[in-house]
């Protein structure tokens, strides 16, 4: 089973991804985390993306698509993929379809966690204290939210027509969102 968690930063994708990892014995594919790792390790990619990341801008599709390729073709992770924060553009969504096709996989569920700006701000402010994320000052949070909403609109249009697309109110408490997801993901 492969699942996409879709929604703006702070919607709770990471939390639900971790729940689903346990539930289906899967792997959380967080491009945000993969990118932060590149910066931490000061790789060639890390050096290219550090400014965009700190500005709350999207990293180029080319870099993200390349990073994701090895994960999708990993036989150990086959049909156990929980995407958290990918895809974020139409090009990424189409690339994902292509890569999944190539390895004989498909997406079983797309969950759109929809939340308003106020809820996002409240949550990310909390996370800022706990995780000490450097890109999480308020200005960046708002820019990230706006960038997300603008850039991902075509992705939302692309996925929302599909039968396996489910919109969930992400302003609910964590447990309630999990319960809702559980009504679809039965293992």
Q: Does 82 contact ligand AMP by CB under 6 A?
A: no
List 2, 92, 152, 171, residue binding ligand AMP (CB under 6 A): 92
CA 80 remoteness from chain centre: 15
Q: Does 80 contact ligand AMP by CB under 6 A?
A: no
Find out whether 12 and 170 touch, Cβ atoms under 8 Å. yes
Q: Which is nearer to ligand AMP, 149 or 186 (CB)?
A: 149
Residue with tokens 């390895």: 103
DSSP state of 112: E
Element (H, E) at 5: strand 3-6
Q: Does 58 contact ligand AMP by CB under 6 A?
A: yes
Q: Which is nearer to ligand AMP, 88 or 123 (CB)?
A: 88
The stretch near ligand AMP (CB under 6 A) out of 19-27, 38-46, 86-94, 117-125 is 86-94
Q: Does 88 contact ligand AMP by CB under 6 A?
A: yes
Closest to 166 in 3D by CA, of 103, 110, 106: 110
Whole-angstrom CA distances from 53 to 33, 66, 172 are 11, 17, 28
Which tokens go with 81?
Answer: 């993929």
Kindly report the CA angle at 181 between 163 and 157, in degrees rounded to 5? 40
Q: Does 111 contact ligand AMP by CB under 6 A?
A: no
Q: Does 123 contact ligand AMP by CB under 6 A?
A: no
Q: Does 144 contact ligand AMP by CB under 6 A?
A: yes
Shortest distance (Å) from residue 124 CB to ligand AMP: 9
In the complex, which residues of this chain contact ligand AMP (CB under 6 A)? 9, 31-32, 35, 52-53, 56-59, 64, 85-86, 88, 92, 144
């Amino acid at each position: 089973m492969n699942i996409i968690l879709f929604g703006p930063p702070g919607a709770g994708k990471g939390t639900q991804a971790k729940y689903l990892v346990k539930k289906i014995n899967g792997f959380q594919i967080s491009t945000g985390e993969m990118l932060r790792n590149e910066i931490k390790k000061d790789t060639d990619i890390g050096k290219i993306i550090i400014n965009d990341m700190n500005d709350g801008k999207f990293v180029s599709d080319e870099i993200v698509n390349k990073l994701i390729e090895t994960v999708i073709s990993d036989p150990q992770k086959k049909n156990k993929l929980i995407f958290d924060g990918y895809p974020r553009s139409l090009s990424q969504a189409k690339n994902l379809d292509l890569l999944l096709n190539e390895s004989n996989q498909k997406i079983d569920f797309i969950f759109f966690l929809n939340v308003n700006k106020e809820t996002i701000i409240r949550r990310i402010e909390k996370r800022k204290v706990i995780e000490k994320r450097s890109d999480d000052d308020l200005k960046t949070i708002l820019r990230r939210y706006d960038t997300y909403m603008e850039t991902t609109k075509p992705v939302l249009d692309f996925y929302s027509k599909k039968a396996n697309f489910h919109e969930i109110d992400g302003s609910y408490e964590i447990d309630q969102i999990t319960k809702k997801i559980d009504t679809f993901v039965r293992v």
